[in-house]
């Protein structure tokens, strides 16, 4: 029952959330909107990986989630630093 619930309710809802965020990623009027939505997309990916590791009963997937959390932070910091320095005139 738990596996069926996770597979047929939770994972589709998380996929719907990812699709909604991806619409904002495509639509976003400025670059910085895209940076935020990319960060949130990776967070949803971490949640999907966690639920998928319960469904398949493999706990090794959580290593990937940890690396993704690290990379999301570094990517957001790097992109925002780049965008800030671009508008700066000494």
Partner 1 sequence: MTDLVIILMTSIGTLFILIASVGLIRMPDFFLRLSVTVKASTLGVGFVMGGTAIYFTEFSVTAKVMAIIFFLLITAPVSGHMIGRTAYFTGMRLWKGTILDELKDKYDRKTHVLTSDEEDGPDEQIIQNEL
Decide: helix, strand or coil at residue 30: coil
Contact 52, 61 (CB under 8 A): yes
Q: Does 63 bind partner 1 (CB under 8 A)?
A: yes
- The residue written with tokens 């940890």 in the block is 66
In this structure, are residues 6 and 51 in contact, taking their beta carbons and an 8 Å threshold?
A: yes
Is residue 18 within the footprint of partner 1 (CB under 8 A)? yes
Residue 60 DSSP label: T
Total residues in contact with partner 1, by rule CB under 8 A: 50
Binding residues for partner 1, per CB under 8 A?
1-2, 5-6, 9-10, 13-14, 16-18, 20-21, 23-24, 30, 32-33, 35-37, 39-40, 43-44, 46-47, 50-51, 53-54, 59, 62-63, 65-66, 69-70, 72-73, 76-77, 80-81, 83-84, 87-90
């Amino acid at each position: 029952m738990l596996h069926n619930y996770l597979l047929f309710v939770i994972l589709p809802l998380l996929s719907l959330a990812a699709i909604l965020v991806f619409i904002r990623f495509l639509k976003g009027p400025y670059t910085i909107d895209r940076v935020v939505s990319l960060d949130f997309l990776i967070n949803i990916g971490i949640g999907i990986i966690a639920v998928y590791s319960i469904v398949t009963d493999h706990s090794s997937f959580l290593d990937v989630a940890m690396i993704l959390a690290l990379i999301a932070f570094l990517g957001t910091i790097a992109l925002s630093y780049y965008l800030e320095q671009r508008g700066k005139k000494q």
